[in-house]
Amino acid sequence: MIINGVEIEDTFAEAFGMKVSRLIITALEPAWAKRAAAAVSGFATSVIACGVEAAMECEIDPAHTPDGRPGVSVLFFSVSTKELEKQLPRRIGQCVLTCPSTALFSGMDGERQIGLGGKIRYFGDGYQMSKVINGRRFWRIPVMDGEFLCEDTTAVCPAVGGGNFLIIARDQRTCLHACDAAAEAIDPIAGVIAPFFGSATRSGSKVGSKYKMLSASTNEAFCPSLRTVVGSELCDGDGAVLEVVIDGLNADLVRQAMRIGIEAVCRLGTAGGIRKITAGNYGGKLGQYHFRLHEVLA
């Protein structure tokens, strides 16, 4: 398959079943909601070491937020409900409770619930109060600019993480611009995030390592500096590789984001320095979702 001169390798991205929760952060002004979202989704690029993968999903008009104020939604993905239950209260307590004028709400429905305000209410030191509105419990925690309103629990649902594609380009700058194009195209899609900053990572990994303490290590087959000393996947003239990673509420959304992102990169074409699109997988042994690039783009 060739698109605008760019070869699309006949391979697949291997993705995994994950758990997801959506939180809605509101604030007196949009900038403060976005600041809280940036803080709460910091250090959340990969579950390999961060516990969760998270990013802001979208901005929300005040007409559509629970309290009628400017808001944003943030998606949190992890390998288990237990891990989300451990990570979310920590992040909320340190990054949303602390952010001036914010409030926090659950942004999705589901039978499985984990604690939010119910876990951090103790910061109120006995002065916290609960209130039930339309069957949903909220906690009012006194803080120095008024009170922090936080929903008691949030839902956790099944999701898909680890959809991906690799951009092979003639040089680093070209690859960066290609990632910008992919990120801009993927950003409007509700229900998906690209958890790495700028939507891309340069440290694509393989399973395992020569060092026993590492579960993942550099994918040397795509490192340009190792082209002459390993079984490389790169050709002469391939100067840089970046990987776009996508998590979504379901497989169809991941597939859609992959397609739109790849198409955006291919519009740059070989004239723009794009040499090839491929994907990362582990031979089909670890993830139950296999997104074949030719089928994604059909």
The pLDDT tens digits along the chain (298 residues) read: 999 999 999 999 999 999 999 999 999 999 999 999 999 999 999 998 999 999 999 999 999 999 999 999 999 999 999 999 999 999 999 999 999 999 999 999 998 999 999 999 999 999 999 999 989 999 999 999 999 999 999 999 999 999 999 999 999 999 999 999 999 999 999 999 999 988 999 998 888 899 999 888 999 999 999 999 999 999 999 999 999 999 999 999 999 999 999 999 999 999 999 999 999 988 888 889 999 999 999 9
According to the 3-state scheme, what is the secondary structure of the chain?
CEECCEEECCCEEEEEEEEEEEEEEECCCHHHHHHHHHHHCCCCCCCCCCCCEEEEEEEECHHHCCCCCCEEEEEEEECCHHHHHHHHHHHHHHHCCCCCCCEEEECCCCCEEEECHHHHHHHHCCCCEEEEECCEEEEEEEECCEEEEEECEEEEEEEEEEEEEEEEECCHHHHHHHHHHHHHHHCCCCCEECCCHHHEECCCEEECCCCCCCCEEECHHHCHHHCCCCCCCCCCCCCEEEEEEEEECCHHHHHHHHHHHHHHHHCCCHHHCEEEEECCCCCCCCCCEEEEHHHHCC
Predicted TM-score (pTM) of this structure: 0.94
CB 20 within 8 A of CB 249: yes
Domains of the chain plus CATH, in order, are 2-15+159-296 (3.30.70.520), 18-157 (3.30.70.520)
- Rounded CA-CA distance 77/37 in Å is 15
pLDDT tens digit string along 29-70? 999 999 999 999 999 999 989 999 999 999 999 999 999 999
Beta bridge partners of 159: 18
Q: What is the pLDDT of residues 98-137, one digit of tens each?
A: 999 999 999 999 989 999 999 999 999 999 999 999 899 9
Look at residues 213, 204, 207, 200 and name the one whose alpha carbon lies nearest to residue 261: 200
* Beta carbons of 20 and 156 less than 8 angstroms apart: yes
* Cα 281 to Cα 89: distance, rounded to the nearest angstrom: 33
